[in-house]
Amino acid sequence: MRIGIDATPLVGNQRGCGIHRYLSGLLDSMQKLEPSHEFYLYANKDFEFPASRPRWHKRISWAPSLHMWTQFVLPRLACSDRLDVLWGPCQTLPLRLGGKIKTVLTLHDLFFLECPETLPFSARWIFRALIPLSVRRAHRIIAVSETTGQSLIRRLGVDPNKVKVIKEGISPDLTPLPVKSAQEYLFNRYGIKAPFLLTVGTLEPRKNLITALRCLKILQNKYDWKGRLIIVGRSGWGMKNPKESAKELGINPDDIGVPGFVPQQDLAQFYSAAEAFLFPSLMEGFGLPLVEAMACHLPVICANTGACPEVVEEGGILLPPLAAEAFAQAVWRLHTDGPHRASLIQRGHQQAIKFNWNQAARETLMVF
């Protein structure tokens, strides 16, 4: 079988975002499985991907915009390579595709319907136009969580038989490290001192960082906690510098660390060195950092919205996303109650081992 893949999430400006990590994880595992198919990776710009197997091919072709590339260039490339299947791993597909090419679409979320105010105006309207059409165009749809799958069926009227839920996995590099050595590494590499709370994700309004900041303020004022908040992730849209937001709340900006995007190999250092993981996101289609934190034995405190309860189950503490006081109380209990902390770490570890890229890759290949 000849399988084409929209590889634009691997292009440099997408590096570190959730869909980049989703596609990288699946493709790495697919290569290791060595299926007897021909794979064609299409993008509008060159990208780093170690296609070390002879059956994997790159096709780079420029277009003035990503949406023009998807709708006009990608169909031409797909037809010229005589594909059997074209996979769109990033929410949309070409609306016109010649020949008898079957299409598979991955849906990560329906934010444009469920929380449109958390998207830029342009993205909101582009997704409102293209995602429903892509869903109708797709022969099969992969949803990254039961939450997203049920939203598809309920909101867009998709036939349940057309939807396959395949949950994300985590990198094998993300394993717990000795706490002291991780803390020393972060101090030497980033100048970050322990203790600190951690949050990971693209900086955008949906991530609701204001709750994490308010949680820190309560911990400092009410419990006299001498720690910081570290925010790891690439800059998104619509967010002022978190240090400015902290200053407006009366928090010392020096108590906020914003290292930005960090390489994959450093993520385990952050997860292993932190006191607790805060994830007060207003809506998630999956929430990969939750699994990563649990895998690295970091206690998770997250919002009880979107797919977070499905991903965390009994492996973390679920709270309303705006309840900063409850977040602070949860952190303080973890700080002062050793058996409670140990129990949560154990439950989180048991939950994290359910998520595996190799299994996700096998199931995705079966959909093709």
For 123-162, the DSSP string reads HHHHHHHHHHHHHHH-SEEEESSHHHHHHHHHHH---GGG
The whole-number pLDDT of residue 181 equals 98
Identify whether the C-beta of residue 275 lies closer than 8 Å to the C-beta of residue 197: yes
Amino acid residing at 168:
E
What does the alpha-carbon distance between residue 235 and residue 32 come to, in Å, rounded to a whole number? 32
For the chain, which ranges sit under pLDDT 50? none
The whole-number pLDDT of residue 119 equals 82
How many Cβ atoms from other residues are within 10 Å of residue 37's Cβ?
15
The whole-number pLDDT of residue 54 equals 82
What's the predicted TM-score (pTM) here?
0.94
Q: Which fold has domain 179-352?
A: Rossmann fold (3.40.50)
C-alpha dist (Å) from residue 118 to 52, 131, 240: 39, 17, 14
Q: Where in the chain is the domain with CATH 3.40.50.2000?
A: 2-165, 179-352
Indicate the angle between helix axes 338-352 and 324-336, nearest 10 degrees: 110
Q: Which fold has domain 2-165?
A: Rossmann fold (3.40.50)
The whole-number pLDDT of residue 122 equals 81
C-alpha dist (Å) from residue 154 to 35, 115, 275: 35, 15, 39
What does the alpha-carbon distance between residue 105 and residue 14 come to, in Å, rounded to a whole number? 19
What does the alpha-carbon distance between residue 93 and residue 112 come to, in Å, rounded to a whole number? 17
> CA 196: distance to chain centroid?
22
